[in-house]
Structure 1
Amino acid sequence: MMKRAPMTSKGAERLRAELERLKSVERPAIIQAIAEARAHGDLKENAEYHAAREQQGFVEGRIQELEAALSTAEIIDLSRLKGPRIVFGATVGLADEDSGEEISYQIVGDLEADIKQRMLSVSSPFARALIGKSAGESFEFQAPNGTRRYEIVSVDYGD
């Protein structure tokens, strides 16, 4: 039995859009680049041909990865998860108790995690430390640079 991976509907939409772009834009462009490089003759010493083939391998690999991820994804309806406790899909507002700095993260599936967009993987240590807690609670987290204390300011499930 294949393991189902949790994913938000927005995350699934982003992956589907990337898959469509790879199939309809990237793949044809690479095929064209390979054809043009072949027209230049000797393939053994044709750097453009080898670069295009390498790029083709990366794109085809990503297409397979996205197709597999979407086929095993379990899209979680965040509107059904509303509650006081932090669970998958929650956007959590935090205040660093030492610096006072406030930050928010959404807890998402492994494949849609992106720290730059403040989206934490549900399997990350920090997300696991948040799961089950509620707004108003404080907790300690052992970060690589030492222990940090946070207060949970808000828990939201707006999708």
Structure 2
Amino acid sequence: MSSAFLKNETADAPVVIPARPPLPPGTPNYVTPQGLDLLRTELVGLETQRAHLQAAVIDDENERSRQLALLNGCIANLNQRISIAKVVDAQEHDRVRFGARVSLKIQVGKFAGTERVFTLVGVDQANAAQGLIAFTAPLARALQGKRVGETVSWPSQQGQQIMEVVSISYNLT
């Protein structure tokens, strides 16, 4: 049976550090001010977990070592991401750029007449369910530079959609 299905990992099993969302090679780590605050809050949380784990009385020292290694790896990855963060806080407000909250109205397609709202954010802040899309995502790239009234053609599972930019706003603080 694969060790992936066993709960009792050996003490010498490698600790797997979860990867941060990827940035394409050569792409700066753009973040909104809020995105940077979220990264810093995440770092404080991880450091707090590490401090509690170091102070806790645990019978299984191997498990403590594994958990500390995992936390230390996550903290190192996060510190690296924060160190290369480039905060974007000023944009042309008449075009879709990083940090824009964009309202789109579907003009052609199965959902014609439906309005969708997206905010272009950094990769660590992206959450499609909340309408936060990474600036590296294909839809974000297709919207870059568009103005109110311009359209973008977008393939979907229901067929080609044509979406019009209805509004653009920025709230990067």
For Structure 1 versus Structure 2, the TM-score category normalised by the shorter chain is 0.7 to 0.9
Q: What do residues 11-41 of structure 1 show as CA deviations (whole Å, max 9, x unaligned)?
A: 0001001101110x211233345x4224xxx
* Residue aligning to 2:49: 26
Size of the aligned set, in residue pairs, is 144
Identity of aligned residues (%): 29
Helix, strand or coil at the partner of 2:31: strand
The structure with the largest helix share of the pair is: 1
Q: 2:123 aligns with which of 110, 121, 140?
A: 110
Q: 2:91 aligns with which of 81, 88, 112?
A: 81
* Residue aligning to 1:153: 166
* Residue aligning to 1:46: none
Amino acid corresponding to residue 153 of structure 2 in structure 1: E
**Structure 2 Cα separation of the partners of residues 3 and 92 of structure 1:** 22
> Where does the alignment leave 5 or more consecutive residues of structure 1 unmatched?
44-48
Structure 1 residue ranges, 4+ long, deviating more than 6 angstroms after superposition: none
**Structure 1 Cα separation of the partners of residues 73 and 139 of structure 2:** 30
Please, which moves more after superposition, 117-126 or 3-12? 3-12
Please, which moves more after superposition, 12-21 or 141-150? 141-150
After TM superposition, the score normalised by the length of structure 1 is 0.79
The question of 1:36 aligning with 2:83 is answered no
What are the residue-to-residue correspondences of 1:71-150 with 2, within 5 Å? 71-77=83-89, 80-97=90-107, 98=109, 99=111, 100-150=113-163
Deviation at 1:55, TM superposition (A): 3.5
> Where does the alignment leave 5 or more consecutive residues of structure 2 unmatched?
1-25
